[in-house]
Amino acid sequence: MNADLVILGLTWFVVFLFSTTLHEAGHAFAAYKLGDPTAYEGGQVSLNPLPHIQREPLGMVLVPLITFAANHWMMGWASAPYDPLWAHRYPKRAAIMALAGPAGNLILVLISGTILRIGMNAGVYKPFPNWIYGLRFPPFEQLVMATTEGGLAEAAIGSLSILFMLNLLLFFFNLLPLPPLDGSAVLPAFMSNEMSARYNSFLHQPMVSLLGLLLAWKIFPMVFSPVLDFVLRILYA
């Protein structure tokens, strides 16, 4: 393992921890403000990753490190607790809570994308060349290239690129209306109380969540590819 790979792995891990922590803190904060203190009492309304790691050490540490060692990118998960009775009683509030996590990821996409766009406008960065010639999508860690070698601008490419791409992926993936993803928790807001109760009972079956994840993993590349193409056209415009 060379020094560049170690630096890339540390960059991935820091960005992954920050992104997932913000996502779950968004859920927890929204729930707390809307009447469910469950996650607040568990210390989840925080950008400190430790309470989130303590809740999901496998998804926030072990799996990301294993996937990076195998593929040089990270995959994992985190979670924030909530009161299912509260969610059933207030489905619209629960829907807002569910959307608050992806909203945090979208904010990070906009911030990192704006910085990259400003850098390109200023002539500090240029688009990834293979994208310009229509050869392939750029790598997660290098959306742009520096116009001059060395310096802070070049050093920031990896963290900004990963922050943009990872959060774009997290935003759209979690909006899929499949259990246990956040998009599935939005649907009860548009249902009757009786239908919402049946739906929530159905969602909380472990096999349903497993099948939902498998289906999401299968269809997401087909959904995300045109989205990524569209977003990169805006970024590189």
What's the whole-model pTM score? 0.93
Task: Tell me how many domains the chain contains.
Answer: 1
- d(C-alpha 64, C-alpha 156), whole Å: 22
Distance (Å, rounded) from C-alpha 232 to C-alpha 237? 8
**pLDDT value for 229:** 87
How confident is the model at residue 132, as a pLDDT? 54
Nearest Cα to Cα of residue 164 among 7, 41, 18: 18
Neighbour tally for 176: CB within 10 Å: 19
56-68 burial code (b ≥16 CB/10 A, e <16): beebbbebbbebb
> Residue 64 has which token pair?
């990301």
Q: What is the pLDDT of residue 192?
A: 83
Pairwise pLDDT comparison (206 vs 41), residue with the higher score: 41
Q: What is the DSSP letter of 48?
A: -
d(CA 23, CA 170): 9
Angle between helical axes of 157-174 and 206-235 (0-180°, round to 10): 130
> Beta-strand (E) ranges in the chain?
125-127, 144-146
Q: How far apart are the first and last CA of the chain?
A: 37
As a whole number, the mean pLDDT across the chain is 92
In a 3-state reduction of DSSP, which class is residue 219? helix
Query: Which phi and psi angles does 179 have, rounded to 5°?
Result: -70, 145
State how far Cα 4 lies from the chain centre: 25
- Quote the domain boundaries for residue 111: 3-235
pLDDT, tens digit, for every residue of 105-145?
999 999 999 999 999 999 999 988 765 545 567 788 999 99
Alpha helices in the chain (DSSP H): 3-33, 38-41, 49-55, 57, 63-71, 84-89, 91-121, 129-132, 152-155, 157-174, 193-203, 206-235
CA dihedral 71→181→112→127, nearest 10 degrees, is 50
Among 11-15, 210-214, 226-230, which range has the highest average pLDDT? 11-15
